[in-house]
Amino acid sequence: MSETFLIRGARIDGGDPADILIEDARIAEVGSGLSRSGASVIDADGLVALPGLVDLHTHLREPGYEASETILTGSRAGAAGGFTALFAMPNTSPVADTAGVVEQELALGEAAGYVTVQPIGAVTVGQKGERLAELGAMAHSRAKVRVFSDDGFCVWDPLIMRRALEYVKAFDGVVAQHAQDPRLTEGAQMNEGSVSAELGLAGWPAVAEEAIIARDVLLAKHVGSRLHVCHLSTAGSVDIIRWAKKRGIAVTAEVTPHHLLLTDELVRGYDARFKVNPPLRRDEDVRAVREGLADGTIDIVATDHAPHPHEAKACEWHAAANGMVGLESALRVVQLAVVDTGMLDWADVARVMSRTPAAIGRLGGHGRPLTAGEPAHLTLHDPRGGGVFGTDDLHGLSVNSPYLGRELPGSTRWTFHAGRVTLRDGALASPEEVAP
- Cα-atom radius of gyration of the chain, to the nearest Å? 21
Report the pLDDT value the prediction gives residue 253, as an integer from 0 to 100. Answer: 98
The closest of 67, 134, 74, 70 to 100, measured between CA atoms, is 134
Cα end-to-end span (Å), the chain: 10
Report the pLDDT value the prediction gives residue 436, as an integer from 0 to 100. Answer: 79
Report the pLDDT value the prediction gives residue 280, as an integer from 0 to 100. Answer: 98
Decide: 84 and 366 in contact? Cβ < 8 Å: yes
Amino acid occupying residue 268 = R
The order of strands in the sheet holding 53-58 is 53-58, 83-88, 116-119
Decide: 58 and 303 in contact? Cβ < 8 Å: yes
Residues known to be catalytic: 304
Strands (E), 98-226: 116-119, 147-148, 174-177, 190-191, 203-204
Compute the distance between CA of residue 108 and CA of residue 62 in angstroms, rounded to an integer: 9
* Helices H / strands E in the chain, number of each: 13, 19
pTM of the predicted protein model: 0.97
The closest of 11, 9, 8, 6 to 49, measured between CA atoms, is 11
Compute the distance between CA of residue 223 and CA of residue 428 in angstroms, rounded to an integer: 46
242-282 pLDDT tens trace: 999 999 999 999 999 999 999 999 999 999 999 999 999 99
- Written as one string, the DSSP assignment of 247-293 is TT--EEEEE-TGGGT--GGGGGGT-GGG--SSPP--HHHHHHHHHHH
pLDDT averaged per 10 residues, the chain (length 436): 89 98 97 95 98 98 97 98 98 98 98 98 98 98 98 97 98 98 97 97 98 98 98 98 98 98 98 98 98 98 98 96 98 98 98 98 98 98 96 97 98 97 97 87
